[in-house]
Structure 1
Amino acid sequence: MNWLANLYKTYENHTNAVGQFEKKKNNREYALIPVSHTTQSAHIEVNLDREGNYLSAKVIDKNEGSTIIPCTEASASRTSAPVPYPLFDKLVYVAGDFVQYCGEVKGTPHTDYMKQLRSWCESPYGHSKVKCVHEYLAKGTLITDLIRDKVLWIDAQGKLIEKWTAALEAERGEKPDIFKVIVSDQSAAFIRFAVQVPGEVESRLWRDPSVQQSFIQFYEMSLKEKDLCYVSGELLPYADKHTSRIRNSADKSKLISANDSDGFTYRGRFRSSRNAATVSYEVSQKAHNALKWLIERQGITVDGRVFLVWGLESLDMPDPLGDTFSLYQDEDEEPTGGDSTHKEFANQVRRAIGGYRYDGDYASNVIIMVLDAATPGRLAMVYYRDLNKEMFLDRLQAWHETCYWQHRYRKSADNKNITFIGAPATRDIAFAAYGPRANDKIVKGLIERMLPCIIDGRKIPLDIVRSAVIRASNPVGLDEWEWEKTLGITCALVNKTFEREGFEVALNTENKDRSYLFGRMLAIADVLERRALGREEKRATNAVRYMNAFAQRPSRTWMIIQSNIQPYQARMGTDAGYYNRLLDEVGAQLEAENFTDKPLSGLYLLGFYSQRNDLYTSKKDKEIGTDTEQDQENNEQGEII
């Protein structure tokens, strides 16, 4: 019940946001919805006057379709059973002339809807605008009015058109708006109402707080039977059914469900679902509504799996799934690039995360939740952690300070490459390990496996590191930009795997590790040949072409690479002197017994990257040749990378 209690607290801490619509980046609206309400995507908006007469109607744009609607327990969890919503609903419920235009229906949906709406209007909490809607719908002319205003369309037989075909388009012209916003046929259109009252600014019933409060008070009258709430510890009206539509308005999955009294749900254990646990109606509504709001506000959805992180006091927390660059988005200073030392980089990370430490109560908690549905009707919590905020920030800081490397895949506003040092995003790790064409099922599985590495400090699964090393060792099979990105991300994963060794982006000339030294030799051969080819020649060097074979059989492959670069050494003449001396220096550090065909570990990529980065980083005091022209040439060569 801890997760329900935390969601309930989140709702109580942000009651000022109830009913206030906000917009996401895609301009879709969302809001923290009141108790006894849910959200639905509406397709048609009908305008009435205060006498209950029809004025106009329009098709709603997809970005503006999100609608807060009153709901009962039964309607909030309805599936195939015809249970009406109290006010806004589909045509089959609200239209008295539905049978005339669509044929017979199962049950009496419109009669049930009107009976429920009448009870609301006749109660002590009835609302004048709701009575206008009841008066209009009692006339039974909704579909007729919508057809007259060319909002809905009928065929030659006088029935609603199910699908707009090419033949209809040729006959009647452009596709009507209703077919652009609705997935199924017109009969499934969802209707919402607005009542124009002179002197009142708000005519939209789904945004009128007085209408919402009117239904809340009306529905509370029907909640009489009480039981002990396992979340609040109080005797309150209990929730017999719990809400669905948690991840989106079309989601039928529920987190809490216990309605199979005839199957194996209670056999041998309980007589009813209430014997297992009881949650009050108020707590269930507020907790589920808070969860919906948080998912819309800051959840990340991959193939139906929702990754959600929030704070009980301050909702906004650094995203554990993002890269280090995202930490600096709200900072005044940009992250420094390749020449930054590890100490400077660590200080930048601490400053970026430090802003969250003093935002709100230091004793507050951070919740990490992952939701997914194995079946259309059941939503599972596949990962849940409740951490002290300080502990969460400490572990996130440790992740960014240990799983780091230099990256160049970020783009600035003017589409230029941004170089930064830090940890890669989990989604980018998935693409580095499995390729950019990896489907969402694989991506969401990897993100879930990486969460304990970030939150709990566990080791990165070796199969992920191996997959990334294999792809980074095959530059010929990748585009140049993709390989550079994969190489940087893989180096970060390898660096985290060998965390105790303390590797840095800066070249370590004292490291005698066999794989690291072989990687340095490969980088020297690559830079030597690339400089000999010149800036105009874009073909891959021998070092790049044989990189995959080199990782598997370094001794044999190095002999091939060395023989192939001899013509380039001869072409460069004395300019190759520095590279030749560097090759001899690195080769001398390699012990004779290590010059074998034993496959290299991922450390060779760190040696390759650091050595190549060092050669392409111009330093005035580096002795590359005998005159300053060679220094300038090396600077130009550095622009190639």
Structure 2
Amino acid sequence: MSYLRALYSTYENNLDEVGIVSTKETRDQKIIEYMLLPISHTTQTAHVELTVNLDGTFNNAKVINKISTILPFTEGSGSRAGKNFTAPHVLHDKLMYVAGDYVAYTNDIEKRVGFTTYIQQLKEWCESPYSHEHVKAIYNYVKQGTVIRDLVSSSILYLNELELLSAKKDLKMEDKPEIFSVLTGEQESTFVRFNVHIPGDITKPIWRNKDIFDAYINFYNTKLKENDICYVSGENAPIIERHPNKLRNSGDKAKLISANDSSGFTFRGRFKESIEAANISYDVSQKAHNALKWLIERQGKTIDGRVFLIWGSKNPDIPHVTNDLSDDTFTGFNSLLMEFETDDSSYVDTKEVLARQYKEVIAGIKKKVNISEVDDEIIYVLTIDAATPGRIAVLYYRDFQVNDYLEKILKWHTSASWRQVHKKDDKWIEYYGSPSFYTIAHAAYGPHPNDKVIKGVVERLMPCVLDGRRVPLDIINSAIVRASNPQFYKQTWEWKRALTVACSLVKKRYEKEGYKVALDKTNTDRDYLFGRLLAVADVLERSALGKEGNHSTNALRYMNAFARQPERTWKIIQMNLQPYQMRLREKGIHYSTLIDEIASTIRIESFNNKPLNGKYLLGYYSQRQDLYTKKDKTDEGEK
């Protein structure tokens, strides 16, 4: 129950956000709206907006493009399923509930009870002390039973020759009305939302009117009768057995808390009644679920239905563990991440320098989200997913003190830091840090892994950051294999990204050995030295080819074979280097001397065909970076 308590507290701490519409831009640059819903309200995709006058007469109607609408609901309507026609929403709903003439235009007598129940509970609200004039206007219109007739006369719905609602298949493709552009089924499934028009007066829409929200909340509270001890709050309050769904989106039917069968194994065997297993009050359930919906829409990361969510008890804006610190979320901190150049232009990543740089970044993050050094804010980490359409489960839940959480992020980004590179909007972006989980998934399992692969990688890496677990070896090995095969990639930058990600993971794996981007000439590790040899061969051939050479070097073509059989493959690479050494002349002698120096450092018994581990990539990258850096400085001096 601890996660429900956290969500309930989050709702209570953000009461100013209740009923306020917020917007955000999606990855495909669409603007979507979301809201911290008031209790006793849910969302539903509406297809038609029907406007009435204040005196209860019809005004107009129009088709709307699958817009999510906020509406009051009951415990029963929030969990209705199948052929349960006796649980309508209270105001906006499908035709079978809001249209008194539904049976006349469909001959579906079985659903007559839908309108009877709907109009009865709407009447009960209107006759209560908590009614609203706009709700009364809608009630006065709906009770006349002319909804479908008015929609037909407005060319929203269409009839066949029998004066019944036309089936989709009976209409010619070119004649299909606008309503079918938003409906996936037949006209009978149309969801209608109502609004009120007052001439000369600008009124808030029904689904945005906080006065109407409050009126319904007060009315529905009078309908809650049975009190008991709430397992979350510990208070004696009205309880419920059926809890909300639509957590991840408006069409999500999966529930966190559900016990709707008396013959299965949901609670039988341990408890006699479902409330003995989870006795939660209406107020807590509504606020906790609405807070979860709001947080998911606001900042949750959803991958193939799995939601990864991180938020703070006081301030929801907390850096997500899946991001890298150069993410656009923290624009402005990037300059801090690039302050690693020294006088000789080598990248220094000692523990002291990294700690200083990243602490500045963390300090900037704290300032941005208003966190002080003595802040008692709690950070919550939650992962949920649904194995079946009706049940959703909590896969991971932890809470941390804010400073502990940020220290864990700091440690991860320090220990897995490397010089990263990627391309965005045709621009090269370089930064010094650890890659995001998404980048790791792409580097380890191909440029375009499916969502199931990505969510699996994210789920397995989160405990590595938050619980200090070791990075799974299969992810590291997969990244090494792909980095060792440049020919897998159509674009050079994609391979470079895969290489830097693999270096980050290998560095993390051997973090006690203190590997860094700057070349370590004192390192005598066999694999590291073989990587240096490969880098010199690569740079030598590339320098000889110059701008005219647009094909891969021998070092890159044989990279995979070199990792598997270094001694045998090195002989082939070195033999192929001879013409390029001759072309470079004096520069070729410099590279040849460097090769001899590195090779002489490898012990004779270690110069064999034993496969190389990931350390060879660290040696390759550092030596290559060192050679190109010195070459750039030489060119500048000559100029």
TM-score by length of 2: 0.93
Amino acid at match of 1:10: T
Q: Does 1:441 align with 2:446?
A: no
Counterpart contact for 1:521–1:586, Cα < 8 Å? yes
Give 1:618 shift. Answer: 4.0
Q: Does 1:395 align with 2:408?
A: yes
Superposition pairs for residues 227-626 of structure 1, below 5 Å? 227-326=228-327, 328-331=330-333, 333=335, 335-336=337-338, 339=341, 340-342=347-349, 343-357=352-366, 359-360=370-371, 362-411=375-424, 415-479=426-490, 480-618=492-630
2:135 is aligned to: 130
C-alpha spacing 1:284/1:585, structure 2 compared with 1 (3 Å): same
C-alpha distance in structure 1 between counterparts of 2:486 and 2:40, whole Å: 57
Give 1:400 shift. Answer: 0.7
C-alpha distance in structure 2 between counterparts of 1:602 and 1:162, whole Å: 63
C-alpha distance in structure 2 between counterparts of 1:161 and 1:494, whole Å: 64
What's the secondary structure of 2:31's corresponding residue?
coil
Give 1:439 shift. Answer: 1.5
C-alpha distance in structure 1 between counterparts of 2:166 and 2:539, whole Å: 67
Counterpart contact for 1:270–1:276, Cα < 8 Å? yes
1:119 is aligned to: 124
Amino acid at match of 1:350: K
Counterpart contact for 1:152–1:178, Cα < 8 Å? yes
What's the secondary structure of 1:233's corresponding residue?
coil
Amino acid at match of 1:569: Q
2:45 is aligned to: 41
C-alpha distance in structure 1 between counterparts of 2:54 and 2:477, whole Å: 69
Give 1:598 shift. Answer: 0.2
Q: Does 1:17 align with 2:17?
A: yes
- 1:294-331 deviation per Cα after TM superposition (whole angstroms, max 9, x unaligned): 00000010000000000001110011101121164144
Query: Bigger shift: 180-189 or 239-248?
Result: 180-189
C-alpha distance in structure 2 between counterparts of 1:402 and 1:589, whole Å: 28
Give 1:267 shift. Answer: 3.6
1:638 is aligned to: none
What's the secondary structure of 2:76's corresponding residue?
helix
What's the secondary structure of 1:34's corresponding residue?
coil
What's the secondary structure of 1:28's corresponding residue?
strand
Query: Which runs of no fewer than 5 residues in structure 2 stay unpaired?
Result: 342-346
Give 1:153 shift. Answer: 3.5
Amino acid at match of 1:250: G
Counterpart contact for 1:345–1:421, Cα < 8 Å? no
Counterpart contact for 1:406–1:420, Cα < 8 Å? yes
Give 1:341 shift. Answer: 2.4
What's the secondary structure of 1:534's corresponding residue?
helix
Amino acid at match of 1:590: I
Counterpart contact for 1:524–1:583, Cα < 8 Å? yes
Amino acid at match of 1:24: K
- 1:55-76 deviation per Cα after TM superposition (whole angstroms, max 9, x unaligned): 11222234xx121110111111
Counterpart contact for 2:519–2:626, Cα < 8 Å? yes
Q: Does 1:144 align with 2:144?
A: no
Amino acid at match of 1:261: S
Give 1:631 shift. Answer: 5.4
What's the secondary structure of 1:42's corresponding residue?
strand
2:64 is aligned to: 60
- 1:496-540 deviation per Cα after TM superposition (whole angstroms, max 9, x unaligned): 001011111111111111111100110111111111112132111
Amino acid at match of 1:221: T
Counterpart contact for 1:311–1:317, Cα < 8 Å? yes
C-alpha spacing 1:103/1:566, structure 2 compared with 1 (3 Å): farther
- 1:409-442 deviation per Cα after TM superposition (whole angstroms, max 9, x unaligned): 043x6x3201111111111111111112322111
C-alpha distance in structure 1 between counterparts of 2:482 and 2:334, whole Å: 36
2:188 is aligned to: 187
Counterpart contact for 1:328–1:352, Cα < 8 Å? no
1:78 is aligned to: 80
Counterpart contact for 1:40–1:68, Cα < 8 Å? yes
Amino acid at match of 1:58: K
What do you get for the CA RMSD once the two structures are aligned?
Answer: 2.1
Give 1:615 shift. Answer: 1.4
- 1:446-475 deviation per Cα after TM superposition (whole angstroms, max 9, x unaligned): 110000001111110001101111111111
Give 1:270 shift. Answer: 2.2
Query: Bigger shift: 280-289 or 573-582?
Result: 573-582
C-alpha spacing 1:619/1:545, structure 2 compared with 1 (3 Å): closer
Give 1:168 shift. Answer: 2.3
C-alpha distance in structure 1 between counterparts of 2:461 and 2:268, whole Å: 39
Counterpart contact for 1:392–1:455, Cα < 8 Å? yes
C-alpha distance in structure 2 between counterparts of 1:631 and 1:550, whole Å: 36
Give 1:593 shift. Answer: 0.9
TM-score by length of 1: 0.92
Query: Bigger shift: 4-13 or 264-273?
Result: 264-273
C-alpha distance in structure 1 between counterparts of 2:457 and 2:434, whole Å: 16
Amino acid at match of 1:368: V
2:115 is aligned to: 110
C-alpha spacing 1:332/1:573, structure 2 compared with 1 (3 Å): closer
Amino acid at match of 1:298: Q
What's the secondary structure of 1:341's corresponding residue?
coil
Amino acid at match of 1:32: L
C-alpha distance in structure 2 between counterparts of 1:163 and 1:407, whole Å: 54
Give 1:156 shift. Answer: 4.8
- Paired-residue identity, %: 47
C-alpha spacing 1:620/1:292, structure 2 compared with 1 (3 Å): closer
Superposition pairs for residues 197-212 of structure 1, below 5 Å? 197-198=198-199, 200-212=201-213
Counterpart contact for 1:45–1:191, Cα < 8 Å? yes
C-alpha spacing 1:159/1:578, structure 2 compared with 1 (3 Å): farther
C-alpha distance in structure 2 between counterparts of 1:421 and 1:19, whole Å: 42
- 1:544-584 deviation per Cα after TM superposition (whole angstroms, max 9, x unaligned): 00000000000000000000111111122223122111111
C-alpha distance in structure 2 between counterparts of 1:334 and 1:14, whole Å: 33
1:7 is aligned to: 7
Amino acid at match of 1:93: Y
